[in-house]
Amino acid sequence: MNDNLGLIVFDNIKEIGDKVNAHLQELRGNNNDYIVPMTASRFANGEGKVRIEESVREKDLYILSDVGNYGVSFMFHGMKHYMSPDEHFQDIKRAMNATSGHARKINLIIPLLYQSRQHKRKGRESLDCAIALQELERMGVKNIVTFDAHDPNVANAVPNLAFDNFYPTNMILDKLVENEDINNILVVSPDMGAVERARYYAEILGSDVGLFYKRRDFSKVIDGKNPIAEHVYLGRDVKDKDVIVVDDMISSGGSMLETAKYLKDRGARNIYLIVTFALFVDDIMMFDKAYEEGIFDKVYSANLSYVPQYIKDKEWYIDVDCSLLIANIINNLNQELSLEAYHNGKGKVLKRVMEKKNNL
């Protein structure tokens, strides 16, 4: 095997990066350290630079960055400043530039796609995600790997660039099946946008699907969006059912908790909230309060973007490790092998579900 692989791992994703490095060693049967030494530093006025500490000539480089990590800080004019997605993205470009064109190929592993929530525009709005993808393409990125993009169609902005959007669904399902009773389960979509996701979970679990329609008050704008006036539920009776509510992310979490309360008030037994990204942009205390009141039982989330340790330590939070999936993707890309098994690998988890049901 031509071991020309190198990992550029930013501090914002170091925990996953170290695990990916270990998995690659196991997959390749060696003890090579694939992480390329690199420093990303800041001047006191906030300007930054990235330095690659060893040669990357003719290496197949994989840059790993979590642009959603809000726990990385630097001193800015004598004050502690926490990095934003924009600053993380700038560092990605600095790392690419620091290779001085010597790498054989540059690949970007960006689990939370930068600016993915601003993927379309109405009227005089910016189109940030598309602009970012085009900028990366111009700088020489050959492959972009992301997870559960808010709208995968944003890849149309770079039709000639390899863009792979993976889902951690099977890993989350595997963890759910390991921990919970799945014999009397119902899958619920919290809105129309998550219906396809809910149908996939239901197909694997052999359950029915319910969904909510969010009726919004378009006469008001609060925090940049129209508030939800009413949740309208469409589906079978939830009484005495174990319910999983699935979506791509928890932002503030208010809508997800409202959905859980509606279900609990109508007799649902256990309620599991399942997301790819647990952002928790507002005070986590409302989740603590809802858990204490029995409104939900667990939050399952992939470890693809930063969650502070104090939240990971919560009794109600389950962190699902996806580092092996990332390592397998990198390994196959480097060896120019198919990625189909990681786009559509439901056979393994389906077998696990059937085994669990048969043993109950």
How many helices, marked H, and strands, marked E, lie in the chain?
A: 11, 16
Residues 175 and 155 in one domain: no
**Within a domain: residue 347?**
no
Q: Is residue 342 part of a domain?
A: no
Q: Are residues 151 and 186 in the same domain?
A: no
354 domain-assigned:
no
Query: What confidence tens digit (pLDDT) does each residue in 59-87 have?
Result: 999 999 999 999 999 999 999 999 999 99
> Is residue 303 in a domain?
yes
Judge if 186 and 84 occupy the same domain. Answer: no
284 and 176 within one domain: yes
Helices assigned H by DSSP within the chain: 14-28, 85-98, 128-139, 169-179, 195-205, 254-265, 285-292, 309-312, 323-334, 340-343, 346-359
CATH code, domain carrying 281: 3.40.50.2020
| Cβ contact 286:257 at 8 Å | yes
Q: Average per-residue pLDDT in the chain?
A: 92
Note whether residue 113 is domain-resident.
Answer: yes
**Residue 358 included in any domain:** no
User: Does residue 193 sit in the same domain as residue 147?
Assistant: no
The residue-averaged pLDDT of 21-41 equals 96
* 86, 190: one domain: no
Please check whether residue 341 lies inside any domain of the structure: no
* Domain interval for residue 69: 5-166+322-336
Q: Are residues 174 and 310 in the same domain?
A: yes
Among residues 192, 144, 143, 194, which one has the least CA distance to residue 169? 194
> Where is pLDDT greater, at 318 or 116?
318
Does residue 155 share a domain with residue 24?
A: yes
Are residues 238 and 107 both part of a single domain? no
Task: Please check whether residue 270 lies inside any domain of the structure.
Answer: yes
Q: How many CB atoms lie within 10 A of CB 176?
A: 24
Distance, CA of 260 to CA of 197 (rounded, Å): 17
User: CA–CA distance from 185 to each of 92, 207, 346, 359 (Å)?
Assistant: 42, 6, 19, 16
Phi, psi of 144, deg, nearest 5 = -120, 125
Co-location of 162 and 254 in the same domain:
no
Name beta bridge partners: 41.
Answer: 49
Task: Please state the domain count of the chain.
Answer: 2
Question: Is the predicted pLDDT of residue 123 greater than 90, yes or no?
Answer: no
Q: Indicate if 220 and 121 belong to the same structural domain.
A: no
Q: Do 209 and 156 share a structural domain?
A: no
- pLDDT over 60 (residue 360): no
Looking at the DSSP bridge assignments, the partners of residue 232 are 213
**Averaged over 245-267, what is the pLDDT?**
92
